[in-house]
């Protein structure tokens, strides 16, 4: 497992509508497996790797949550809007990178607690009410930054003995799992299409145009999923737990996954001794929601790596979960030809 590739994917910026740098890495690696790679007008990339069997789409999204500059005041302070679901409590006091004419590291302004009045310090301000301080003169700020520039978290990639910590693990880990699975040269039991989609974090936009064009028999979405396995969280609210293998999702806020396909994936995992977790929840969403109901519709499943602190500057995932998810994807690619309706 090439952790340095995962680091590269996580550290480059890839905000909704500006996924170019991530896409370039993915395309360069997909070229090792096929020359049939297409980019659509939205910016999605779809690679076709020919094989015998049902038509399968493996999908992961390119974009990460972040921000866009919407105002620069006379003193050089910036205001931004969020791109994707971001808790203001996570934003306040963080360091960020503003992608102007050159990248600038700034600080989300925070009043010291011993100066802030108690009555005004009860709630964290909304993202739009926060200021970003670049530590530069107003003249320099206005010469480098403009309204519409993008902003991402400043969060260097860290590898511990058991885990990785970084921004953008959602969903660079999904892209990584697909690429690593392909590197292991599985004997394909399907006609495979790999989609790397745009603008998932702002409404599953890229995924909406995939199924109508390619009309797959199945679509399996690879994601980083919420893990709340923390002290003080009730057991029934922990969802997926780190260190316990990939999540196989049956439901979320907008999705009821295909039951027969999901069961087939669990059977493959059991056959190969791959640990997995079944989750049923009514929160969150993935590209599977869009793929299930667009065009003629398709049978969808979701396989995810559990990630603590999702949509924060410091997401955390266990390397063992990533490895087991890669193994499961390899198994799916090899055995999907044997899918039969069992329910």
> Residue length, the chain?
343
Band (116; pLDDT cuts 50, 70, 90): low
Q: Within this chain, do residues 113 and 48 fall inside the same structural domain, yes or no?
A: no
* 282 and 140 in a common domain: no
Q: Judge if the upstream peptide bond of residue 171 is cis by omega within 30 degrees of 0.
A: yes
Are 93 and 204 in a shared domain? Answer: no
Domain end (from 119, 153, 187): 153
Residues 180 and 327 in one domain: yes
pLDDT digits 0-9 by tens, 29-49? 999 999 999 999 999 999 999
Q: Using the predicted structure, report yes or no on whether residue 120 has a pLDDT greater than 60.
A: no
Q: Are residues 196 and 326 in the same domain?
A: yes
Q: Which two tokens stand for residue 72?
A: 């620069």
In this structure, the answer to whether residues 129 and 101 fall within a common structural domain is: yes
11 and 87 within one domain:
no
Look at residues 77, 56, 78 and name the one whose alpha carbon lies nearest to residue 67.
78
Q: How confident is the model at residue 125 (pLDDT cuts 50, 70, 90)?
A: confident
Do 57 and 77 belong to one domain? no
Rounded CA-CA distance 79/86 in Å is 15
What's the CA angle centered on 122, arms 119 and 125, to 5 degrees? Answer: 115
> In this structure, is the dihedral angle defined by the CA atoms of residues 157, 158, 161 and 163, taken in order, positive or negative?
negative
Cα gap 203→287, rounded to integer Å: 9
Looking at residue 123, what is its pLDDT?
A: 72
If asked whether residues 214 and 328 sit together in one domain, one would say yes
The domain that contains 101 carries what CATH number? 2.40.30.40
Q: Output the CA torsion sign for 258, 279, 189, 267.
A: negative
User: What is the distance between the alpha carbons of residues 198 and 164, in angstroms, rounded to a whole number?
Assistant: 24
The pLDDT tens digits of the residues spanning 75-98 come to 999 999 999 999 888 898 899 999
* pLDDT confidence of residue 343: 47
Q: Which of 64, 200, 223, 324 is catalytic?
A: 200
Active site residue 128: no
Domain that holds residue 122: 66-153
Q: How many CB atoms lie within 10 A of CB 326?
A: 24
Are 202 and 300 contained in the same domain?
yes
- Of the residues 153, 187, 208, which one is the last residue of a structural domain? 153
Is 93 in a helix, a strand, or coil? coil
Residue 302 lies in a domain: yes
Q: How many other C-beta atoms can be found within 10 angstroms of the C-beta atom of residue 214?
A: 19
CATH label of the domain that carries residue 300: 3.40.630.10
Question: In whole angstroms, how large is the CA radius of gyration of the chain?
Answer: 21
Model confidence at 118: pLDDT above 60:
no
Domain end position, chosen among 128, 153, 178: 153
pLDDT in tens, 175-189: 999 999 999 999 999
Span 236-288, pLDDT tens digits: 999 999 999 999 999 999 999 999 999 999 999 999 999 999 999 998 899 99
Strand bridging mode 55-61 / 191-197:
parallel
Residue-wise DSSP of 241-262 = -TTS--EEEEE-SS-B--HHHH
* Residue 343 maps to a domain: no
Reference 130, options 190, 194, 82, 64; nearest CA is 82
Q: Read off the tokens for 260.
A: 């027969």
In a domain, 159, yes or no: no
Separation between Cα atoms, residue 305 and residue 311, nearest integer Å:
14
Do 320 and 174 lie in a common domain? yes
Are 198 and 290 a contacting pair, CB within 8 Å?
no
pLDDT > 90: percent of the chain: 91
pTM listed for this prediction: 0.94
Same domain, residue pair 183 and 257: yes
Q: How many domains does the chain have?
A: 2
160 within domain boundaries: no
């Amino acid at each position: 497992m090439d952790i340095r590739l995962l680091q590269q994917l996580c550290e480059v910026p890839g905000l909704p509508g500006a996924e170019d740098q991530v896409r370039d890495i993915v395309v360069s690696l997909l070229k090792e497996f096929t020359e049939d790679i297409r980019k659509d007008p939205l910016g999605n990339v779809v690679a076709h790797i020919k094989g015998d069997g049902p038509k399968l789409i493996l999908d992961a999204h390119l974009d990460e949550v972040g921000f866009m500059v919407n105002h620069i005041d006379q003193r050089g302070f910036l205001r931004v809007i969020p791109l994707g679901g971001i808790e203001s409590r996570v934003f306040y006091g963080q360091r960020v990178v503003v992608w102007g004419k050159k990248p600038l590291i700034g600080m989300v302004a925070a009043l010291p607690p011993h100066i802030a009045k108690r009555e005004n310090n009860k709630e964290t301000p909304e993202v739009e009410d926060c200021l970003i301080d670049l530590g530069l003169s107003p003249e320099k700020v206005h010469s480098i930054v403009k309204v519409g520039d993008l902003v991402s978290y400043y969060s260097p990639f860290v590898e511990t003995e058991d885990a990785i910590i970084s921004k953008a693990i959602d969903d660079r880990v999904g892209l990584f799992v697909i690429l690593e699975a392909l590197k292991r040269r599985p004997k394909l039991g399907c006609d495979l299409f790999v989609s790397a989609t745009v603008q998932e974090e702002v409404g599953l936009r890229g995924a909406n145009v995939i199924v109508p064009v390619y009309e797959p028999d199945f679509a399996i979405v690879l994601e980083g999923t919420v893990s709340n396995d923390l002290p003080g969280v009730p057991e029934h609210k922990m969802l997926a737990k780190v260190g316990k293998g990939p999540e196989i999702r049956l439901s979320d806020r907008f999705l009821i996954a295909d039951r027969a396909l999901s069961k087939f994936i669990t059977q493959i995992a059991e056959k190969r001794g791959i640990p997995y977790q079944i989750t049923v929840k009514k929160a969150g969403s993935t590209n599977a929601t869009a793929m299930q109901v667009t065009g003629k519709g398709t049978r969808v499943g979701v396989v995810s790596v559990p990630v603590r602190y999702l949509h924060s500057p410091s997401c955390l995932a266990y390397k063992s979960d990533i490895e087991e998810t890669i193994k499961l994807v390899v198994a799916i690619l090899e055995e999907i030809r044997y899918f039969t309706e069992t329910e």
